[in-house]
Amino acid sequence: MDKLSDFTIRVATPQDASAVTTVLKASYSVLMPAKYDPAILEAVLPVTTQANPKLLQSGTYYVAETASHQIVGCGGWTHERPGNGEVESGLGHIRHFATHPDWIGRSVGRSIYEACERAARAAGVKAFECFSSLNAEGFYAALGFEMIRRVEVRMGNGQMLPSILLRRYI
């Protein structure tokens, strides 16, 4: 557990599902309209703003929590590639990051990423890949990720979401 000035980073649990969903809904509904057509958002937000039970059980998904127990950010990593579950030795995958809009610019996302990187390095990961939404590209670039290519990510409801495949060696 990392203690920061206004929040603490800790491993998420299944009991955090409702709070994580609240952060995802607040974040994505405010930040994604800058880069996506409303029709795409109408189709994907119901899927992308739900906490992923597998991630919450993984031990590699984190939340940023205030002293008053408010979850203000979330994100994690897995060995398994999103969508197909493939595992490639030395490669980790950044998963389902979000920061509550009221907390953007306060190092919430960066702090969660740093917890991910420490844990991933200890687990033998040498590089991270990330399927980034278009609006999050700047966040990941600031962390040192580089664009590999633009991709279309199939969401759980079959809708395709324009995204960017990024990579960072750790």
- pLDDT tens-digit map of 100-159: 999 999 999 999 999 999 999 999 999 999 999 999 999 999 999 999 999 999 887 788
| Domain that residue 103 falls in | 2-169
Name the helix (H) or strand (E) containing 148: strand 146-154
Cβ neighbours around 83 below 10 Å, total: 12
For the beta sheet containing 91-99, the strands, ordered from the edge strand earlier in sequence to the opposite edge, are 2-3, 8-11, 61-65, 71-78, 91-99, 127-133, 160-169, 146-154
Cβ atoms of 14 and 52 within 8 Å: the answer is no
Task: Report the CATH number that the domain containing residue 118 is assigned in CATH.
Answer: 3.40.630.30
Full-model pTM: 0.94
Separation of alpha carbons 107 and 111, rounded Å: 6
Separation of alpha carbons 24 and 154, rounded Å: 18
User: Structural domain tally of the chain?
Assistant: 1
The arithmetic mean of pLDDT across residues 65-77, rounded, is 97
